[in-house]
Amino acid sequence: MLIPRTSIHAIITKYKKTKCIGNIIGRGRKCKTSVHVDRIIQRKIKVDRRKSASSVKVELQFEHGIAISEQTARRRLHEVGLFGRVARKTSYVNKSNRGKRIAFAKTYLEKPIGFWNDVLWSDEIIEYMSPLT
């Protein structure tokens, strides 16, 4: 066999102590935050989805006296499926420009399909016609 004698001896003594040869659960550094603090972090982000990890860190330090790093806050949020995202930028269209755009689109409404073969499509913007935008 190519396994050193000391390795075999270590495995046998480990089995005699633990009745298992696998790694013991709970090894490694303990989490700085408890389950309670994890829920506080999660709640703060769910109230305001645009809040950053650095602001959560400052709030925890100020309100609860818990000093954590930004990365720790980020890790706790990733564990529950919350990730940092940037909102999509949309173009501002006021009422007069909206009317002009609709008029422009209506001029091309009746064009044949062959006309569109020569058009170069370089940019597309989604326009929402509801008053919510």
Q: Is the pLDDT of residue 1 over 70?
A: no
In a domain, 64, yes or no: yes
**Rg (the chain; Cα; Å):** 30
In a domain, 37, yes or no: yes
Can you give the pTM of this predicted structure?
A: 0.54
In a domain, 95, yes or no: no
| 46-77 residue pLDDT tens | 999 889 999 999 999 999 999 999 999 999 99
Domain holding 35, by residue range, is 31-84
In a domain, 45, yes or no: yes
Q: How many CA atoms lie within 13 A of 41 on its CB side?
A: 33
Per the structure, how many domains does the chain have? Answer: 1
In a domain, 99, yes or no: no
In a domain, 56, yes or no: yes
Classified as helix, coil or strand, 30 is: coil
In a domain, 49, yes or no: yes
